[in-house]
Amino acid sequence: MNYCKLKNLFLAFLTALFISSVAFSAENDQENVKKEKDEFFWVNLNMGFGGKITSSFFSEDTQDLDEDPLLIAMGLTTSFQKNFHLFSFRFLYLPRFEMFSNTNEKTYDIGVLYGISYPGSFIMVSLSGGVSVVSGILHEKAIRTEDWTTYYQDKQYTVIGFPIEAQLYLRFPYFGIGLSYFANLNAKNSYHGILVGFQFGDLW
C-alpha cells in the first residue's frame, strides 16, 4: 500500500469516526441545551493536516505521489451563534509539506459559512457550508532534480470554492477544545482534512 492510499484511508477512517461522534452527540445532547441564553461568540485557533481530493481517494489508479501531497493546515475562525443558527468567517492556510523539495505550493481559503449548531452544557456539534475565495500556487510540472531536491514550475490561481465543515467540541464557559473536519470543493484545487481546534470566547 503506497503513501497516498495509506493517508487517504486514515483520513477516511477519521472522517467516519468523526461523523459518528457528531450524530451520537447531537442526539443525546439536544435536551441539555441552555434555554436562558441564545447568543454566543467565539474565536477558533486551528491546526492539523489535509490532502487534495483526487481520484486516488476513491481508487488505486493514481500511483504518482505528487498527485496527493500532505498539506499542513492552519486556520482562524470567528463565529457568532443565535439559537441554533451558526455564522462563521474562516481563514485557512495550507502549505504543502514535502521533504527534499523546493516547493512553493500553498493555498489560501477565505470564506463565510452558515450552519446549524447544538450547544449543550459541555458538548457542541455543528455542520456548516458556505462560499469562499480560494487562491494560491500550484505545481504545474517538475523542472529538474538536483542534489536530492526537486524544483517545480508553478502557477498562481484564484477560484470560487464551496467550503464544508463539521465540528465536535468539548466546552467550558470560556474555553473549548475539539476536532473539525473541513473540505473545500472547487474547480482547481479541492482538498479536505482534520483540524485540532481551541475555542476562546463566550461559550455558555
Give the three cell numbers for residue 89.
468567517
Supply the DSSP string of 89-147, one letter for each residue. EEEEEEEEE-TTEE---EEEEEEEEEEEEEE-SSEEEEEEEEEEEEEEEEEEEEEEEET
- Residue 160's Cβ-side half-sphere holds a number of Cα atoms within 13 Å equal to 2
Please tell me the predicted confidence (pLDDT) of residue 203: 86
Rounded CA separation 149/103 (Å): 9
Helix (H), strand (E) at residue 44: strand 39-52
The pLDDT, as a whole number, for residue 93 is: 96
Per-residue pLDDT of the chain (204 residues; tens, 9 = 90+): 444 555 565 566 556 655 655 555 555 554 444 456 788 999 999 999 998 886 444 434 433 445 567 889 999 999 999 989 999 999 999 998 876 566 678 899 999 999 999 866 688 999 999 999 999 988 766 666 666 666 666 789 999 999 999 999 999 889 999 999 999 999 988 999 999 999 999 887
Q: Hey, what's the cell of 81?
A: 451563534
CA dist., res. 45 & res. 30, Å (int) = 26
Residue 7 confidence (pLDDT): 58
Structure confidence at residue 117 (pLDDT): 92
pLDDT at 109: 97
pLDDT for residue 10: 58
Number of domains in the chain: 1
C-alpha cell recorded at residue 6: 495509506
Q: How confident is the model at residue 201, as a pLDDT?
A: 94
Instruction: Give the residue among 65, 50, 61 at the shortest CA–CA distance from 4.
Output: 65
Helix (H) or strand (E) holding 41: strand 39-52
Q: How many helices (H) and strands (E) does the chain have?
A: 1, 9
Report the distance separating Cα 9 and Cα 3, nearest Å: 10
- Supply the CATH number for residue 31's domain: 2.40.160.20
Q: How many residues does the chain have?
A: 204
pLDDT for the residue 19: 61
The type of residue at 4 is: C
- State which H helix or E strand residue 29 sits in: helix 3-29
Handedness of CA 131, 90, 53, 68 (dihedral sign): positive
Range of the domain at 11: 3-60+69-202
